[in-house]
């Protein structure tokens, strides 16, 4: 090999050495960058799921707390504190157990309650609380299949001045019939609160149908 060619080869090798160094540095830099990006991505994913878990946990705790709160309210307003609830109508010879706080929007629940007597409409006032106490019951065996299926079939025989009594937690509360009327089955005005205490009795009417509702209203007898 001539000296000229040898010199060219040496020169080429010298020129390639910096390029190799640059390639190595570039690869290292890329590797470091990829590692940093990977680490940041892991951190982002970890933070995302951590926050999501916290959010879900908070939601679950809120739901549980709300459920416990609702349960407590329900217990306060239901049979847990009601030891006695009876409707007594002397002129009709009736002394009927009353199931308190019955959901009238749930047929399964209210039908079950009406097997044991009549039902106090959930959301209406309890006796001696100064508002509308709504009690409902069956008037025909068409809608019920227990001994109380026809308990209100003679409710229409009540007249103004007739007495009604409620026995509630050991207290006897006297009412006197002041009004009797027929309303549409879609008339919800009778479930609304009243400014003063009143007893509202409701049943399907005419007997054997559910076309309308017979309403009897009684006001407290002042002692």
Residue 78 has pLDDT above 50, yes or no: no
40 and 100 part of one domain: no
116 and 175 part of one domain: yes
151 and 186 part of one domain: yes
Distance CA 19, CA 5 (A): 22
Q: Find all residues with CB under 8 Å of 123, minimum gap 6, and list them.
A: 191
| pTM higher than the cut 0.85 | no
Better-predicted residue by pLDDT, 138 or 57: 138
Return the pLDDT at 41. Answer: 65
133 and 163 part of one domain: yes
Distance CA 4, CA 9 (A): 9
Distance CA 157, CA 148 (A): 18
The pair of three-digit structure tokens given for residue 145, joined into one six-digit string: 């299949």
| Residue 28 pLDDT level (bands cut at 50, 70, 90) | confident
26 and 100 part of one domain: no
Given the structure tokens 């007594």, which residue do they identify? 88
Distance CA 162, CA 159 (A): 6
114 and 199 part of one domain: yes
Average pLDDT over residues 185-204: 96
124 and 209 part of one domain: yes
86 and 141 part of one domain: yes
What average pLDDT does the structure give for the chain? 79
Q: For 119-170, what is each residue's pLDDT tens digit? A: 999 999 999 999 999 999 999 987 667 789 999 999 999 999 999 999 999 9
Indicate the residue among 24, 51, 77 that finishes a domain. Answer: 77
71 and 89 part of one domain: no
Helix (H, G, I), strand (E, B) or coil at 205: strand
Q: How many domains does the chain have?
A: 2
- Of 201, 37, 1, 55, which Cα lies nearest the Cα of 117? 201
Q: In terms of residue numbers, what domain contains 6?
A: 1-77
Q: Are strands 132-136 and 118-121 parallel, antiparallel or unpaired?
A: antiparallel
Indicate the residue among 52, 77, 102 that finishes a domain. Answer: 77
CATH number, domain with residue 170: 2.40.260.10
102 and 126 part of one domain: yes
15 and 46 part of one domain: yes
Lowest mean pLDDT among 32-41, 99-108, 209-218: 32-41
212 and 148 part of one domain: yes
Give the C-alpha distances (Å, rounded to integers) separating 199 from 3, 19, 106, 180, 221. Answer: 125, 100, 22, 12, 11
Indicate the residue among 77, 105, 134 that finishes a domain. Answer: 77
Q: Find all residues with CB under 8 Å of 169, minimum gap 6, and list them.
A: 82, 83, 84, 85
Return the pLDDT at 44. Answer: 60
């Amino acid at each position: 090999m001539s000296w000229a060619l040898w010199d060219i080869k040496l020169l080429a090798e010298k020129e390639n050495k910096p390029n190799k160094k640059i390639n190595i540095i570039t690869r290292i830099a890329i590797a470091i960058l990829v590692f940093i990006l990977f680490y940041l991505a892991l951190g982002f994913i970890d933070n995302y799921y951590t926050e999501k878990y916290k959010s879900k946990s908070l939601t679950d705790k809120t739901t549980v707390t709300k459920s416990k709160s609702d349960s407590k309210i329900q217990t306060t307003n239901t049979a847990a504190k009601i030891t006695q609830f009876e409707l007594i109508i002397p002129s009709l010879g009736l002394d009927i157990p009353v199931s308190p706080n019955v959901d009238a929007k749930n047929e399964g629940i209210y039908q079950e309650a009406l097997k044991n007597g009549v039902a106090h409409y959930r959301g209406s006032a309890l006796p001696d609380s100064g508002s509308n106490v709504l009690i409902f019951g069956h008037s025909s065996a068409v809608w019920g299949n227990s001994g109380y299926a026809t308990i209100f079939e003679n409710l229409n025989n009540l007249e103004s001045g007739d007495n009604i009594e409620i026995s509630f937690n050991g207290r006897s509360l006297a009412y006197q019939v002041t009004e009797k009327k027929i309303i549409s089955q879609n008339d919800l005005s009778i479930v609304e609160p009243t400014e003063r205490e009143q007893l509202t009795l409701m049943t399907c009417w005419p007997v054997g149908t559910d076309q309308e509702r017979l309403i009897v209203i009684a006001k407290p007898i002042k002692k």
